[in-house]
Amino acid sequence: MNIFSLFIFSSTRSVSPYSLCTQIVLISSLLLNLIACDETDVSRQLDLSINELDSGIDQGLDPSDKGSSDDTTPDDSLVDLTLDLDLVTDAETERPLDQGIIMDAEIEEPIDQGVTEPTDMIIPIDAPLPPSLDHLDTVIDLAAPDQRVWAQVIHVTSRGEQPLFISRDYTPTQGRADFWPASTIKMYTATATLELINQAGFSIDATLGFQRLIEGEWVEEVDISVREVVRRTFDCSSNETYTLLLRFTGVDWLNTEFFTPAHGFNHTALMRDYVTDDARPWSYQLSEAQRISIREGSREVIREHQWSGRSYADERGCTIYNTRGDANCTSAGDMAEHMRRVIFHEQLPEGQRFEISAPLLDWYRGDTRERILNNTQGDNCGGPVYSGIRRVFNQPILHHKEGLVSEYRGTMHHVHDEESNTEYVASLMIDSPSEQVIEKLSEELARMMKTPSAYVHLGYLRDYVNPITANLVTYSEEVGTLQMMVKPYEEDGFSLEGWTPLQGTSTPIDVGERSHNLRSNCLNESGQLHIRGRLETANGIVAWSDLHYVIVDHTQTCP
């Protein structure tokens, strides 16, 4: 026997201001030299009520009151990986860009952040400038006015074999962990488990046998395969199997060896399971020593650990549900970065890769027949996030992990739409359980990422009107033309076919962010119409607003 022991969204009717702030530097393999520029514990009753939702849409359990223990056992570490973050910042460019971080997958070392002199640009003729994403704050504010939001987006541009990543946060939430992450963090434990399994030389078909120490005796509780425990965690988000993943990795190892800057984590701590203390055999009480046997074929490896008593939640500054020092917290930045590293593993420098084999990663990302990270089936596993994205893309590939608890809802996801050649990673959290808000945010981020240099928002519309008037907000990196488009209400509003211009609404637009008040010609027929805003730039880039409808009353006096 080998032994290793380790502690181990309908329309938006409001516009709010936004702020801009960017630093960007691009280095790409195809660019020789381009510089473009809380804390209250919640009741056990809430624990139980949230837990009952587990078979529905992905959710996380509000934290239960967990006990602690003075009994400590030192932990040993299996591996110590040293990874380099590839974030490049601070340089001048031909145009001002705010707060974006451009990452080139080929470069492991950070570029000197003290650049003060202009740098010449050599741009291949067929290489477009990367998007600035300057309008992210505006897009979110328009989609979710008066809503507290934490968000990070990473636009992905393919350049040969190496992707180019442009990252931007919703100001200024990238490094803030003042929300409850709910079930989103279950992905962390799944990735960590696959890394441990890989290090020990096992496959996803290995069996994990869980035991706990009771009065000096090891009590067997549950046996489950790695395949099943990870799959159920993503199959509409099982709280029980998430807790087993947490038990397997162990709080100490997870927080000291896995949640490190080298692994892309800067604001993450995870100490709380999502089942009640009496939910045996799933419960993970930190005061209890744990033994997990990993068995496959004739091999068996034993993993033992017990919490050292160290409060990683306090150390990382967790503020929500942390009165006992054992909360879970993360940031939108950490969430997006984790998804990026899992999805683009093979295209990243060695120092940014998890120690997970290709077969394990292929299975995890759903490249085989079994859906894991790409699960949008089952009992509405795609949820409102997928519904929002599907309003923009027809058949997108989606990798995701959602979360829901009584006060917070969130997601981290990767979207790839081959038809429009759109790819991006996003993380979103809101301080509301609202499906409509997270759906709307996901939709508008998708719309922004589909045409990152042009965006149009159609605002408040009155009903029973003649003419039709509306307020629209546009962002464009080129001059262009804006107009409202209509279609009979009985036709498919989500199809981009069959739309006709609303006469009198065509107007030229300038570069940058602009607000427009458009008024149609007088109408001579009553009825209900689908309506959208359409922006076309000088170079033919077309951006559409979300879908609205308006009721026309031609008997109204038309001035």
The amino acid occupying position 106 is E
- The residues that bridge with 473 in the sheet, in sequence order, are 457, 515
pLDDT tens-digit map of 163-198: 999 999 998 887 899 999 999 999 999 999 999 999
Its pTM stands at 0.79
CB 209, CB 293: distance < 8 Å = yes
pLDDT reading at 239 higher than 70: yes
Going by pLDDT thresholds of 50, 70 and 90, the confidence category of residue 381 is confident
- Cβ neighbours around 163 below 10 Å, total: 22
Q: Cα separation of 558 and 546, whole Å? A: 27
CB 507, CB 497: distance < 8 Å = no
Q: Which CATH superfamily is domain 2-8+42-82+175-450 in?
A: DD-peptidase/beta-lactamase superfamily (3.40.710.10)
**Phi and psi torsions of 85, nearest 5°:** -75, 140
pLDDT tens-digit map of 493-542: 999 999 999 999 999 999 999 999 999 999 999 999 999 999 999 999 99
Going by pLDDT thresholds of 50, 70 and 90, the confidence category of residue 350 is very high
Q: What is the dihedral of CA 90, 95, 98, 104, to 10 degrees?
A: -50
Q: Give the CATH fold of the 454-552 domain.
A: Immunoglobulin-like (2.60.40)
Task: Spell out the residues 6+ positions from residue 298 whose beta carbon is closer than 8 angstroms to its own.
Answer: none
Same CATH fold assignment for domains 2-8+42-82+175-450 and 454-552: no
> Mean pLDDT, the chain, as a whole number?
81
The pLDDT of residue 99 is: 39
The full set of domain ranges for the chain reads 2-8+42-82+175-450, 454-552
What is the enclosing helix (H) or strand (E) of 156? Answer: strand 149-159
* Locus of tokens 């809380």: 38
CB 431, CB 403: distance < 8 Å = no
Which region among 119-128, 239-248, 425-434 has the lowest average model confidence (pLDDT)? 119-128
